[in-house]
């Protein structure tokens, strides 16, 4: 009995319709990245474990997919190694692993190629990564990341450009229902200072990050349990009640930061970023200063931002921020950078839920040419060649068959048009073109046919 095929858990196939739609998203993002001077980069699917381990914390190390050494991978092990457990065995049977993200391999690339790279270095990278996570809805063991980073400069023009990239990408995707939250680690450090939580910054941010889920009262309760005094949480309530446009909110916050140098620095950087964004020609009308944004602050050191849809229930679809010392773990300290990551899978789900994919992105072939017999086949092939020279995506049914079978094929493949080529058409030079969406038919000679289909951008 034949074995029933299956996929590894946490992976999936993408059929033609899904691939056309994914390519539509990725091609749009690539187009904008290149406009802004980002250059493409790819790194191998696997890296030496010496590159990967110790970069993602203990939990990340546990989620790495390790690759067994080639040949007899048990050759260098002993019974004693197995008695001592996996920590003794693993270094002897595996030296490589699948990459966990795009950032660490990027840092490794920068260090290895520092003499050839022109700094600031602007790169984009779209590749799969692998994590041994427990598969669940929206979480996979193999998935794509889509990153762009600028390294080797502290300029806030870079932050503004990445926000402009977000605006342009979503304009091109015809997606308008989103908001961009913008903040800074320095702003949050300033808020922590005025709340008396400067020495508990990590705890302060972790609790504040729960605001959307548990509400302000519970946040205050948890902060007080962690040792922050009531007068500190009252200051926090005052700050979180500040309303108005971005400039007003920053001005109001500045009035609390008289004695916080780091807080004022954060406000200055936020203002400069917003000014650059407008100067770049972006509207910036989706960008909102958010004093509660605390994502990834163990990693980010400056401006931070995240994008969420506003009309549907979906998590963050794009996010990023400024980080320092990207390459320090590889012996090249002091390289600051800023990056952004588009969540391809969530963007796909968002566009699908809002029905924003163009219809033609689910089609490959525009025209199917019929094939009834040997004579019509030869004639049809010559038309096929003429159409393709005009850039029209077309195909011939590869074997002679009844019209019903060929029409069923065109319908199932969602082909836009069927071109009839039979003895009558060969004799008169006039062909019947059927629109598969409504059944309408047109009688066209070859010149009219070429113009009709090439004018449509088929």
Alpha helices, DSSP H, located in 244-371: 246-254, 261-279, 344-353
On whether 409 is known to bind a ligand per the annotation, the reply is: no
On whether 52 is known to bind a ligand per the annotation, the reply is: no
Cross-strand bridge partners of residue 288: 181
Q: Which residue has the tokens 């922590």?
A: 192
Q: Round to whole Å and give the CA distance between 185 and 200.
A: 14
SS (H, E, C) 386-410: HHHHCCCCEEECCCCCCHHHHHHHH
On whether 102 is known to bind a ligand per the annotation, the reply is: yes
- Main-chain phi, psi angles of 317, to 5 degrees: -110, -15
Q: Round to whole Å and give the CA distance between 452 and 39.
A: 38
On whether 11 is known to bind a ligand per the annotation, the reply is: no
Q: Round to whole Å and give the CA distance between 117 and 42.
A: 15
- Main-chain phi, psi angles of 139, to 5 degrees: -130, 120
On whether 108 is known to bind a ligand per the annotation, the reply is: no
On whether 375 is known to bind a ligand per the annotation, the reply is: no
On whether 101 is known to bind a ligand per the annotation, the reply is: yes
Neighbours of 403 (CB within 10 A): 13
On whether 360 is known to bind a ligand per the annotation, the reply is: no
Look at residues 323, 319, 322 and name the one whose alpha carbon lies nearest to residue 343: 319
On whether 103 is known to bind a ligand per the annotation, the reply is: yes
- Half-sphere exposure (CA, 13 Å, Cβ side) for 53? 12
Q: Which two tokens stand for residue 426?
A: 């060969």
Look at residues 154, 125, 173, 159 and name the one whose alpha carbon lies nearest to residue 282: 159
Q: Round to whole Å and give the CA distance between 211 and 215.
A: 5
Kindly write down the DSSP assignment for every residue of 63-120, as one continuous string: H--EEEPSS-TTTT--HHHHHT-HHHHHHHHEEEEE-S-SHHHHHHHHHHTTTTS-SS
Long-range Cβ contacts of 376-379 (<8 Å, 24+ apart): 376/421, 376/422, 376/423, 376/425, 376/426, 379/421, 379/425, 379/426
Look at residues 454, 450, 435, 430 and name the one whose alpha carbon lies nearest to residue 386: 450
Kindly write down the DSSP assignment for every residue of 38-78, as one continuous string: -EE----SEEEHHHHTTSSHHHHHHH--EEEPSS-TTTT--
Instruction: Please report, in range form, the residues annotated as the binding site for L-histidine.
Output: 101-103, 131, 145, 149, 295, 299-300
The annotation places the binding site at 101-103, 131, 145, 149, 295, 299-300
């Amino acid at each position: 009995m034949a074995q029933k095929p299956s996929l590894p858990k946490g992976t999936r196939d993408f059929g033609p319709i899904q691939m056309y739609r994914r390519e539509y998203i990725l091609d749009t993002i690539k187009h904008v990245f290149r406009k802004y001077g980002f250059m493409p980069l790819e790194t191998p699917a696997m890296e030496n474990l010496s590159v990967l381990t110790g970069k993602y914390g203990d939990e990340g190390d546990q989620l790495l997919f390790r690759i067994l050494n080639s040949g007899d991978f048990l050759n260098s092990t002993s019974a004693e190694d197995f008695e001592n457990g996996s920590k003794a065995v693993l270094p002897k049977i595996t030296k490589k692993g699948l990459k966990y993200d795009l950032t660490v391999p990027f840092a490794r690339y920068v260090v290895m190629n520092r003499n050839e790279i022109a700094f600031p270095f602007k790169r984009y990278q779209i590749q799969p990564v692998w994590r041994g996570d427990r598969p669940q809805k929206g979480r996979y063991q193999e998935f794509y990341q889509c990153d762009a980073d600028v390294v080797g400069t502290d300029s806030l023009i870079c932050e503004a450009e990445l926000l402009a990239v977000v605006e342009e990408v979503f304009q091109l995707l015809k997606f308008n229902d989103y908001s961009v939250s913008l903040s800074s680690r320095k702003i949050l450090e300033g808020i922590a200072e005025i709340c008396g939580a400067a020495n508990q910054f990590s705890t302060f941010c972790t609790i504040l990050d729960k605001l959307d889920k548990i509400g302000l009262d519970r946040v205050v309760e948890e902060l007080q349990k962690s040792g922050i005094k009531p007068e500190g949480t009252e200051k926090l309530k005052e700050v979180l009640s500040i309303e108005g446009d971005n400039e007003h909110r920053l001005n109001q916050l500045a009035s609390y930061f008289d004695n916080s140098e780091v807080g004022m620095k954060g406000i200055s950087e936020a203002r400069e970023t917003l000014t650059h964004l407008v100067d770049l020609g972006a509207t910036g009308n989706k960008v909102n200063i958010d004093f509660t944004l605390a994502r990834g602050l163990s990693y980010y050191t400056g401006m931070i931002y995240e994008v969420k849809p506003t009309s549907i229930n979906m998590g963050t679809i794009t996010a990023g921020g400024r980080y320092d010392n990207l390459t320090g773990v590889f012996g090249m300290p002091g390289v600051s950078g800023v990056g952004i990551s588009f969540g391809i899978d969530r963007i796909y789900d968002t566009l699908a839920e809002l029905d924003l994919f163009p219809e033609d992105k689910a089609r490959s072939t525009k025209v199917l040419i019929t094939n009834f017999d040997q004579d019509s086949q030869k004639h049809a092939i010559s038309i096929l060649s003429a159409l393709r020279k005009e850039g029209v995506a077309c195909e011939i049914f590869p074997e002679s068959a009844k019209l019903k079978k060929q029409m069923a094929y065109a319908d199932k493949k969602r082909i836009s048009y069927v071109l009839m080529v039979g003895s009558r058409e060969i004799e008169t030079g006039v062909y019947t073109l059927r629109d598969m969406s409504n059944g309408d038919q047109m009688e066209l000679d070859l010149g009219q046919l070429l113009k009709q289909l090439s004018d449509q951008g088929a």
